[in-house]
Amino acid sequence: MTVISCVNPDEKDLQLIRYVKPSHIENGSATDEEFQLREDRSPPEEYISFFHSTEKNIENKIQFVIFALRKRQKNFAIKKTGGFLFLNSTQASEDINITNEIVQFKKCNYPHYGMYYLSDDIVDIIEAKTILMYYSELYLNQGLERSVKSHNQKIQRTV
């Protein structure tokens, strides 16, 4: 397994994107489980994954993230009923870190970024998850049929 060292990004105000699987969506927004580190992995997760895309429109950004996810994990399953959460890295950091440093976004082998929890305090983590769930109420893009279908067609044409 390749070890990726993550660094503080030089850029500010990055629009970061995270795929949200259908089982982590309820009533049109992400559940807190979407922002939970999976400690049962080997090795355990250290951060929540996001991606950055310089594409101009949302559909192209989504297709870019699908490609990046499948590049990292060949058989990564994108479900039509899943969604993509868009957030601004600086705004999210400022909103979450109002009282103390709870999260930090780092560049982890561009276009991949990681959101690290800096606090072990459960209250801090719940606060961060609550803000991220609120963001998902506003910025979760669902209804991926066109993007997933289009991406799968492009893959079939290149095979």
* Segment 90-123, tens digit of pLDDT: 999 999 999 999 999 999 989 999 999 999 999 9
65 lies in a domain? Answer: yes
Q: Is residue 6 part of a domain?
A: no
Query: Rounded distance, CA 133 to CA 139, Å?
Result: 10
Q: Encode pLDDT of 63-79 as tens digits.
A: 999 999 999 888 888 88
pTM of the model: 0.84
Number of domain units in the chain: 1
Structural domain includes residue 135: yes
CA-nearest of 96, 114, 111, 118 to 7 is 114
In a domain, 45, yes or no: yes
Would you say residue 113 lies in a domain? yes
| Residue 149 domain flag | yes
CB 20, CB 83: distance < 8 Å: yes
Domain that holds residue 128: 15-158
Residue 2 lies in a domain: no
Alpha-carbon gap, residue 155 to 13, rounded angstroms: 31
